[in-house]
């Protein structure tokens, strides 16, 4: 469906930014544009912003297919999106709109966290591995699962919700309605909220990033907050590895920039809980593709659809 | 490889009993023999017992293939087994021995808990479902995972260790070396040990079964012990459903015979933690095949190998 030499259009729709790029068959982002996600616009205004980015990227030569990552939830594979962090779009028919613009091309839309995981598996930290977990630790905690070298979608595209693995049944309430979920403990906002309760103050924005910055400066409560997040991540990873014999885990997203202050406790908790030989051998590494992972994964939906797309 | 009408030899090697049967293409057990697993024998003595059962089942007419479920751990797909509950076999070359006996037939060996899950997916409570979790709650807690209609093996056949999903990071130590694993809280021995600590006494054997019997008679500590086990099962199931968008879960094994006293708290904990619509819809049901699930699943390794066998 996609020629060996054709570049594809990749789109990454997030609550913070809209990114659009051309990705070649090797997974290289050969051209990229991005803008902050507009606020105070309606559904059509946001669509027009996205479409103008798209037109800028396809104006010089055609693309062979279109792959899109977008914040969830969504109806999948229909690609009707209601991103939690983009109130302007509720049941917005993103896949259909792009299909109308590119009537002769395959257009595929998936969850942005799944795309990040797919990108890391296709061309990043998980390349060549059969069982892989890609995680995004940011405003939320999301991810994608690869088994036998193929992404797991689930019946309605909702597989990969690793942020809702329960890490402490007596833990704090979660936005999903449950409690003790990984996301409720390990996400940026959860880290910041916990740090505040424990006496951390900031003159600026209350965020996981601010906590990480103070932790890097040696603030003990900020360090403890990242430790708590990392431990929860390590516990959840141990559970997933036991369940699926995952061979490699890549952790990305804003909070992962905290580096060893997060990865140290994560690795330590993982080692404490994952003691059987097959589990112990799992590698946990930072995501490798950085800002491009979402675009690369969106491109993989169409460039390597045999492994990364089971929808229609 | 297997003719449409050929029956296959199915073997189920457990710490309690050895079962051998003929299974037809539809998954029906058409002949079955079983004996208690011999104690105080050496590796060859145990093999001779198993082989004589096998010969009895294949003496009247040939079989088309051989499928085997055996307690783990094992080297997979080599089928060199070291069942935790069968000390006589350490690195016993079970697959090779059976291959030598049936040199012209496919012989496949997998973990017994995976076979139970496969049996339930092929012909039991999970039939027709894309995403499925089969669990065995007994002396240990084991299971198997089906994704997109195919069993998940993992690189060395160790996927399915749902008993080592962490349900409470501050929980009791587990035989695996970790702590807070589902198995350390929900298994029969864990239930009995907890009940004893809380003041439950029995004149007979200290076991999950004895606790279940007393719970059925209204003993409050026994009921509380089953409730604790059921809640841990419900939490672990919620985690797995979130991760993989599992559509149905079947729970079997000795302790599952406790019925509503276990399933009630399990369902309740699951509902409390699985609140997102895609997760809420998951069915949790008792395993449907009873004592035959292991043989049926072992047969499926060869009769439906496209879905249930990825080894060589």
**Tokens found for residue B291:** 């004592």
Please identify every stretch of chain A with a pLDDT value under 50, giving residue numbers as ranges: 1-4
Query: Does any domain span residue A3?
Result: no
This prediction has a pTM of 0.96
Domain count, chain B: 2
Query: Does any domain span residue B2?
Result: no
Q: Are residues B171 and B244 in the same domain?
A: yes
Which domain range does residue B164 map to?
A: 129-286
Q: Are residues A152 and A230 in the same domain?
A: yes
The answer to whether residues A15 and A83 touch, using CB atoms and an 8 Å cutoff, is yes
Residue B76: what pLDDT?
97
Spell out the alpha helix ranges (H) of B166-303: 182-186, 188-197, 208-216, 220-244, 260-273, 277-280, 293-303
Q: Are residues B279 and B148 in the same domain?
A: yes
User: Strand, coil or helix: what is A37?
Assistant: coil
Residue A3: what pLDDT?
45
Q: Are residues A96 and A224 in the same domain?
A: no
Q: Are residues B136 and B266 in the same domain?
A: yes
Q: What is the CATH number of the domain that holds B304?
A: 3.30.420.40
Phi-psi map region of B259: left, alpha, beta (phi>0 left; psi -120 to 50 alpha): left
Q: Are residues B78 and B182 in the same domain?
A: no
Query: Does any domain span residue A44?
Result: yes
Q: Are residues A223 and A243 in the same domain?
A: yes
How are the residues of chain B apportioned to helix, strand and coil, as percentages rounded to the nearest 5? Answer: 40, 20, 40
Q: A167 in contact with B at a CB cutoff of 8 Å?
A: yes
Give A162→chain B minimum CA distance, Å. 5
Q: Are residues A272 and A134 in the same domain?
A: yes
Residue B5: what pLDDT?
52
- A159: chain B residues, CB-CB within 8 Å: 131, 147, 243-245
CB contact under 8 A, B156 and A240: no
Residue B110: what pLDDT?
98
Q: Are residues B70 and B143 in the same domain?
A: no
Q: Are residues A300 and A261 in the same domain?
A: no
Question: Within the 82-141 window of chain A, which residues sit less than 8 Å (CB to CB) from chain B?
Answer: 130-131
Residue of B nearest to A242 (CA): B161
Please identify every stretch of chain B with a pLDDT value under 70, giving residue numbers as ranges: 1-5
Q: Are residues A272 and A151 in the same domain?
A: yes
Q: Are residues B138 and B279 in the same domain?
A: yes
Question: How would you list the strands of the sheet with B17-23, edge to edge?
Answer: B29-36, B17-23, B8-13, B66-70, B107-111
Query: Does any domain span residue B123?
Result: no
Query: Does any domain span residue A123?
Result: no
Query: Does any domain span residue A2?
Result: no
Peptide bond preceding A60: is omega within 30 degrees of 0, i.e. cis? no
């Amino acid at each position: 469906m996609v020629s060996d030499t054709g570049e594809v259009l990749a789109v990454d729709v997030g609550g913070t930014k809209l990114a659009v790029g051309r990705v070649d068959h090797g997974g290289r982002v050969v051209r990229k544009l991005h803008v902050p996600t507009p606020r105070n616009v309606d559904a059509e205004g946001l669509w027009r912003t996205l479409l103008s980015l798209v037109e800028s990227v396809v104006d010089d030569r055609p693309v062979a297919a279109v792959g899109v990552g977008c914040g969830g939830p969504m109806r999948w594979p229909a690609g009707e999106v209601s991103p939690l962090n983009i109130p302007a779009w509720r049941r917005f028919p993103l896949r259909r709109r792009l299909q109308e613009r590119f009537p002769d091309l395959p257009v595929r839309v998936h969850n942005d966290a799944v795309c990040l995981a797919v990108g890391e598996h296709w061309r990043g930290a998980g390349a060549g591995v059969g069982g892989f977990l890609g995680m995004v630790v940011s405003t939320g905690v999301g991810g994608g699962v690869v088994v036998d070298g193929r992404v797991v979608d689930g019946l309605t595209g909702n597989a990969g919700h690793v942020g809702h693995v329960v890490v402490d049944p007596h833990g704090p309430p979660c936005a999903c309605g449950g409690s003790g979920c990984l996301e409720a403990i390990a996400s940026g906002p959860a880290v910041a909220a916990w740090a505040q309760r424990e006496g951390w103050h900031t003159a600026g924005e209350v965020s996981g990033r601010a906590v990480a910055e103070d932790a890097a400066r040696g603030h003990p409560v900020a360090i403890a907050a990242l430790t708590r997040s990392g431990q929860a991540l390590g516990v959840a990873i141990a559970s997933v590895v036991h369940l699926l014999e995952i061979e490699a885990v890549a952790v990305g997203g804003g909070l992962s920039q905290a580096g060893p202050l997060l990865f140290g406790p994560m690795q330590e908790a993982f080692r404490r809980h994952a003691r059987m030989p097959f589990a112990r051998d799992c590698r946990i590494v930072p995501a490798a593709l950085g800002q491009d992972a979402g675009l690369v994964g969106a491109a993989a939906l169409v460039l390597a659809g045999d492994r990364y797309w089971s929808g229609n």
